[in-house]
Amino acid sequence: VTAHFCRKILEGVGIRSDRLALDWASAAEAPLYVALITNFTKHIKELGPLGKADGLSGEELSSRLSVARSAVKSVKLRTRFARLTQALREANDYSPQLIESKMAENFDQAILREMEKQEKLLSEAGVGVQHIGESIDDNKA
Amino acid sequence: LVEAGRSPNINIITMAELVSVAGEARDFTAKVRRLPRYVDENLCTACGTCADYCPSPIRDDYNEGLSFIRAIHIDYQQAIPPAFYVDREACLFLSRQECKQCERVCLAKAIDFKQAPQEIHISVGAIVLAPGFGRIAGRVLAKYGYETCSDVITGIEFERLTSASGPTMGDIIRPSDHQHPKSIAFLQCIGSRDLASGNGYCSSVCCMYAIKEALVAKEHAPDTSIAIFYMDMRTQGKEFDDARLRAKEKGIRFVRSRFGGIRKTDGALEIKYVSEEGQHFKESFDMVVLPEGLESPESAASLARVAGIELNHYDFCKTNIFSPLETSHQGILVAGAFQSPKDVPESVIDASGAAALVSEALSQVRNTRVETKIYPDEIEIDETPRIGVFVCSCGSNIGGVVDVPAVARYAATLKDVVFIDTNLYSCAQNTQELITEKIRANGLNRVVVAACTPRTHEPLFQETLKNAGLNRALFEMANIRDHCSWVHSHLPKESTEKAKDQVRMAVAKARLLRSFPEQSLPVCPRALVVGGGISGMTAALSIAKQGFECFLVERSSQLGGNLRNICFVLNGDDPEALLEKTTKEAMSNDLIHIYTDASVEGVSGYVGNFTTTIRTKEGIEAVDHGVIVVATGGEAYKPTQYLYGTSKQVITQLELEKMLADPDRAQQINDIVMIQCVGSRGQDLSYCSKVCCGQAVKNALRILEHTPLANIVILYRDMRTYGFMEDYYSLSREKGVTFIHFNREMPPVVAEESGKLSVEFFDTLLGETVVLDPQYLVLSVGIVPAGARGLAKILKTPLTKDGFFLEAHPKLRPVEFSVDGIFLCGLAHSPKPIPESIVQAKAAAGKACIPLTKGSVAVEPIVSAVDQEACIGCGICEKLCPYAAVRIVKAGKKRKAETIPASCKGCGICAAHCPTMAIYMGRFSTEQIMAQITACGKKGLQ
């Protein structure tokens, strides 16, 4: 669910969702872990640097990322996200199919709406500056 | 292992053997001979340089001799004590007075060839014997081609082959040509259930471990064709049958057969076997695995002599069936496979049970000889970080690859770093003291150690901080060994750069670390036991004997539970006497308060501070207590199949047992058919009820005592008379009981016509359908949990799909729940015979008394905390917490979440799901993690 949530948000700001990988490997699965890391590294190298490869300027990229970050912090979305986790736990079924269908049911649309809202907020100059400021602060910290 | 190694009250004496025991219970003197290690445990840091230089290779016992190590070695990375040792025979110096390379290269000066054998006298109150199991003799394995065919390997060797840390790093290859086997055969009952080998008993664990290994092999290479040749599949443990079904689904073949011989053919191994129908077959495999049974330990005879204990006829420790952990020598206890062949969960249960018995015996002198550490008072710290960075060389382990001085110089340039130092071995005792001094002298208030892994060493350095008067939460580690020098050993320059990155990240996080108040919460020194059967009574008695008050709640009008229905047991002991003795003891113990006709209405609180409402006929009472033991038990499955309830001739085993207890009625019984697995294993219940096979054999033998020529036919799926119970199974066969196997798909058919009962079934050996008309048809019905669902809801503890209580970990924590302070035993956990229930009850009581004995619950500095301002009281955290460690409380008019620090494990599920991000994780806050990530991307910047 977490991965799905993040991927949707990345897509929303125009970043390829395959730049995020989430997988499981136990301590006894060293070869699997190596394969996961090697493949992901190879894949990201092929894609090229974040932003540049997709034709985004540094400024554009950082504003988009701050939209994404705000969206992840949104109480509305986080509530839906948590409710969804709870539903999966109650059903005791974590199959990708169920996650997909549950997400489509009442989550995907909400993500899109939230992203629009955040973008709008950002485009209103004052707020935008504040957000960019925030992200710079974060980087400095 | 790490916990045992770290406890100040466990003195681990390795390379030692017990020489003699003098004195009596509560006052023994044990003489122990300790062989020289030739390495000083206190100085050795397990860096491994000595082994790099040691010229003498030996076979690696830990890997079953499948690989080579050096004469100076450590069994495996995590071994306790973490120190190398010298193999006496292989060492060139000890055998030929030459070499001593290790002594020259050891920078820690830990090698000491002057060490000599020592004799130590230890005065103790009780002794626990846990020597484990021995190995099946080579001559037995030889029958299966082990010595002549290199591709015939034991199950334990196969286990090492599948292990990622094994000799092939988890690659399953044939010893002969190093190719992956395309087909593997597992032959069961190697050195078990085999009178020719001298072992008439069943080793209990081999069926299950063969299935596990087969599943692992399938995971490695799904195309491998695997067959398991067996007599009876004995997967009687909790949820073991599920594993067997999974294996079947994965295409693993289960072949009920008798082994006939093995021979090497061209590049393969040919097995001869006789099928159930009596036909002969030959089949070829690339590899043959012998999942060998468990033999009595090699040291059994000498141990018995030294400790003055008796052995049984298979050289395992002799114990009474109703006190399975006590040897014939009072005060000397036994745990694990030396008691009888058993698996990990049962061994762990034994161990906790033995600890409870020790605690019972020594409760008078508790805390008289324990060591507690005293730390200096904590220093108030300034908000401005003053960070000290210590970079470790780990001998040459890190320093050989990473440029340690360069990393330290780099650390000095980082913001807020006021002190740097490098150490040869940061973890060495004297270095620890130096670090303590340096923290004090330089007024450090945050400490970063760049060394090995926090998994093993964080607690050690946190201890160092405490010794310097710093809060242990003010510590951060950068693992520049595992992540740099080990994985990039061929890239020194890059490793050094990466180490710098890691130090920068650790410093970024350290800057934001805050003190975490050391909390410890008081514990109410009383226990609640729910269920008054043999498990509940045993647990209550053990808790009382350990010196604590106990409330025992029983739903019916009298104590005893299912034991009240048992009239006799296999070995002839008297269960009625056990019932009477235990009940009497429980009723007469002043520390036990018994509530009959009572139920638990509600439970609130957490470990150390529970309040429970008990409803009885007299009314309602609320009691305060620190821990809970769940022993709600089970009950007989009520059959509807096979005309039970319709025909008077159809009865259950318990009903037969009642009849047999009456000598007059017993003599009239002479013609019986029994059907096994009624309700169990895929009928109404998916699981095996574990006790019914033994019960059927018990009743059959009892009938034959009265009427030696009685006709008894037992229709079964797999006879699961595991362990020493197998003796009685063999005996019943000798005495003329007929055992006929049936498949789940073809159960017997029971009919009644004009008052006459008939049982029709297919006899595979004859290849014919047989019809019998017995005097009685006896159904071996399974066990179902009793009252689990209601209590589980009240306690917020999970259940298995079959409705039994789900323990915290099936193997490692078999009597605990994931929720702290609640423990589990008896049939409420899973079906099991009386001795296993007794041991588990002891184990639960032993575990339950840990917080009671300590008197307080310590809180780790990683627990979550809720920002009450930001919390909106949505309750998501409360619902998602796997440990019931978050609760919603009323704060004025609003609802707010609150962490129960005593129960919190710091997993972070609550924080990750909090809609308003109001939950702060100790030492892993969002700001701290973000600071680390940001620092990662800021090379050379500050």
Measured distance CA(B925)–CA(B932) in Å, rounded:
11
Residue A136: which pLDDT band, with cuts at 50, 70 and 90?
very low
Q: Over range B622-627, report the average pLDDT.
A: 96
Comparing CB atoms, the residue among A31, A82, A139 nearest residue B913 is A82
C-alpha count within 13 angstroms, C-beta hemisphere, residue B591: 18
The verdict on a CB contact (< 8 Å) between A82 and B931 is: no
Instruction: Tell if the CB–CB gap between B880 and A2 is shorter than 8 Å.
Output: no
Among B609, B608, B538, B623, CA closest to B854: B608
pLDDT at B50 over 90: yes
Supply the mean pLDDT for chain A.
Answer: 78
Chain B residue closest in CA terms to A136: B934
Measure CB to CB from residue B915 to each of A29, A75, A89 and give the nearest one: A75
Contacts of A141 in chain B (CB under 8 A): 927, 930-931, 934
Q: Which of B879, B930, B886 is nearest to B905 (CA)?
A: B886
pLDDT for A28 equals: 64
pLDDT-derived band of residue B855, with 50, 70 and 90 as boundaries?
very high
Q: CB–CB of B908/B482 below 8 Å?
A: no
A contacts of B170 (beta carbons < 8 Å) = 28, 30-31
CB contacts < 8 A (A, B): 47
The beta-carbon neighbor of B916 closest among A2, A29, A75 is A75
| Angle at B677 (CA atoms; ends B672, B683), nearest 5 degrees | 130
Cα separation, A46 vs A53, in Å, equals 10
- Chain B residues in contact with A73 by the CB 8 A cut-off are 917
Question: Which residues make beta-bridge pairs with B768?
Answer: B763
pTM for this model (two decimals): 0.85
B928 → chain A, closest CA residue:
A141
Looking at residue B362, its pLDDT comes to 93
Token output for B595:
């509530």
Is A28 in Cβ contact with B874 (below 8 Å)?
no
pLDDT at A130 over 50: no
Token pair for B635: 């009950």
Tokens representing residue B199 in the block: 């072992």
Question: Is the pLDDT assigned to residue A141 strictly greater than 50?
Answer: no
**Do B930 and A83 count as a contact with CB atoms less than 8 A apart?**
no
Residue B933: closest CA among chain A residues belongs to which residue?
A139
Torsion-angle region of residue B558: left (phi > 0), alpha (psi -120 to 50) or beta? beta
pLDDT single digits (tens) B241-273: 999 999 999 999 999 999 999 999 988 999 999
- Do A139 and B934 make contact, defined as CB atoms within 8 angstroms? yes
Range of weakest confidence among A73-87, B25-39, B220-234, B277-291: A73-87
pLDDT number for residue B261 = 94
Interface mutation target, options A34, A73, A78, A134, chain B, most CBs of B under 10 Å:
A78
Q: Which of A31, A75, A79 sits opposite B170 (nearest CB)?
A: A31
Span B444-465, mean pLDDT? 90
- Report the residue of chain A nearest B879, measured CA to CA: A86
What pLDDT shows up at residue B942? 41
Min Cα separation B565/chain A (Å):
38
CB atoms B170 and A30 under 8 Å? yes
Q: Please judge whether A85 and B930 are an interchain contact, meaning their C-beta atoms are less than 8 angstroms apart.
A: no
Structure tokens at B334: 């036994």
Question: Over 50: is that where the pLDDT of A133 sits?
Answer: no
Residue A122 in this model has a pLDDT that exceeds 80: no
For residues A132 and A138, give the distance between their C-alpha atoms in angstroms, rounded to a whole number: 10
Phi, psi of B938 (to 5 degrees): -110, 60
pLDDT of residue B940: 56
- B171 against B307, higher pLDDT: B307
Among all residues of chain B, which has the CA nearest to that of A78?
Answer: B915
The minimal CB distance from B880 to the residues A75, A79, A89 is found for A89
- Over residues B3-23, the pLDDT tens digits come to 777 778 899 999 999 999 999
Token reading at B89: 């025979």
Closest B-chain CA to A81: B913
Q: Phi and psi for B305 in degrees, rounded to 5? A: -65, -50
B483-510 burial: b if 16+ Cβ within 10 Å, else e: bbbeebeeeeeebbbbbbbbbbbbbbbb
Query: Using CA atoms, how far apart are residues A10 and B847, in angstroms rounded to an integer?
Result: 48
Q: Give the distance from residue B911's alpha carbon to the nearest chain A alpha carbon, in angstroms.
A: 11
**Residue A129: per-residue pLDDT:** 45
d(CA B941, CA B819): 45
Q: What is the mean pLDDT of chain B?
A: 93
Nearest residue of B to residue A75, measured between CA atoms = B915
CA distances (Å), origin B463, targets A71, B433, B474, B707:
42, 11, 11, 71
Question: Is B639:B689 a contact under the CB 8 Å cutoff?
Answer: no
| Residue A91, pLDDT score | 77
Q: Quick check: B864 pLDDT over 60?
A: yes
Q: Which of B78, B165, B913 to mutate: most A Cβ within 10 Å?
A: B913
Q: B512 vs chain A: nearest CA distance in angstroms?
A: 10
pLDDT at B1: 67
Cα separations in angstroms, B489 against B69, B107, B493, B812, B936: 20, 20, 10, 35, 21
Q: Considering only the beta carbons, identify the residue of A30, A81, A139 that sits closest to B164.
A: A30
Which pLDDT tens digit goes with each residue over B819-842?
899 999 999 999 999 999 999 999
What mean pLDDT do residues B904-923 have?
89
Three-state DSSP at B800 gives: coil
Looking at residue A92, its pLDDT comes to: 73
Tell me which of B296-305, B373-382, B760-769, B921-930 is least confident: B373-382
CA distance B915 to chain A (A): 5
What local confidence, expressed as pLDDT, does residue B218 receive?
Answer: 93
Among B509, B867, B876, most A C-beta atoms within 10 A, so best to mutate, is B876
In chain A, which residue's Cα lies nearest the Cα of B942?
A140
Please report the DSSP string for A85-132 in residue order. Answer: HHHHHHHT---HHHHHHHHHHHTHHHHHHHHHHHHHHHHSHHHHHHHH
Q: Which residues of B touch A76 (CB under 8 A)?
A: 915
Residue B685 distance to chain A (closest CA, Å): 20
pLDDT, one tens digit per residue, over B79-137 is 888 899 999 999 999 998 989 999 999 988 999 999 999 999 999 999 999 999 999 99
- Residues of B in CB contact (< 8 Å) with A are 163-164, 169-170, 872, 874, 876, 879-880, 912-917, 927, 930-931, 934, 938
Task: Measure A95 CA to nearest chain B CA, in Å.
Answer: 18
Q: How far apart are CA B613 and CA B603, in angstroms?
A: 6
- Identify which of A73, A78, A86 has the shortest CB distance to residue B880: A86
User: Is B786 in a helix, a strand, or coil?
Assistant: coil
**pLDDT confidence of A128, banded at 50, 70, 90?**
very low
pLDDT classification of B692: cutoffs 50, 70, 90: very high
Nearest-angstrom CA–CA distance, B747 and B741: 10
Asked if the model's pLDDT at residue B377 lies above 90, the reply is no
The residues, ordered by sequence, that sit 6+ positions from B654 with a Cβ below 8 Å of its Cβ are B565, B636
Confidence bin at B2 (pLDDT 50/70/90): low
Would you give the DSSP letter of residue B691? S
B881: distance to nearest CA of chain A, Å? 10
pLDDT value at residue B121: 96
d(CA B838, CA B536): 9
Nearest residue to B162 via CA among A30, A37, A39 = A30
The mean per-residue pLDDT over the stretch A76-90 comes to 84
| CB contact (8 A) between residue A82 and residue B930 | no
Q: Give the nearest partner residue to A138 out of B163, B876, B934, using CB atoms.
A: B934
The answer to whether the Cβ–Cβ distance between A78 and B872 falls below 8 Å is no
Q: Which two tokens stand for residue A95?
A: 């199959």
Query: Could you tell me which residues of chain A have a Cβ less than 8 Å from any Cβ in chain B?
Result: 2, 28-31, 73, 75-76, 78-79, 81-83, 85-86, 89, 138-139, 141
Lowest mean pLDDT segment, chosen from A1-10, A43-52, B270-279, B392-401: A1-10
Residues 6+ apart with CB under 8 A from B790: none
Residue B682 binned pLDDT confidence (cut-offs 50, 70, 90):
confident
CA distances from B507 to B510, B516, B892 (A): 5, 18, 41
Predicted local distance difference test score (pLDDT) of residue B365: 87
The three-class DSSP label of residue B560 is strand
Show residues of chain B in contact with A139, CB under 8 Å.
934, 938
Report residue B703's pLDDT band, with 50, 70 and 90 as the boundaries: very high
Closest residue, chain B, to A77 (C-alpha): B915
Q: Rounded to a whole number, what is the distance in Å from the CA of A31 to chain B's nearest CA?
A: 8
Tell whether the model's pLDDT for residue B616 goes beyond 70: yes
Predicted complex ipTM: 0.82
What residues contact residue B778 under an 8 Å CB cut-off, 6+ apart?
B651, B652, B653, B655, B656, B672, B673, B674, B675, B696, B699
- Give residue-wise pLDDT tens across range B513-566: 988 888 888 999 999 999 999 999 999 999 999 999 999 999 999 999 999 999
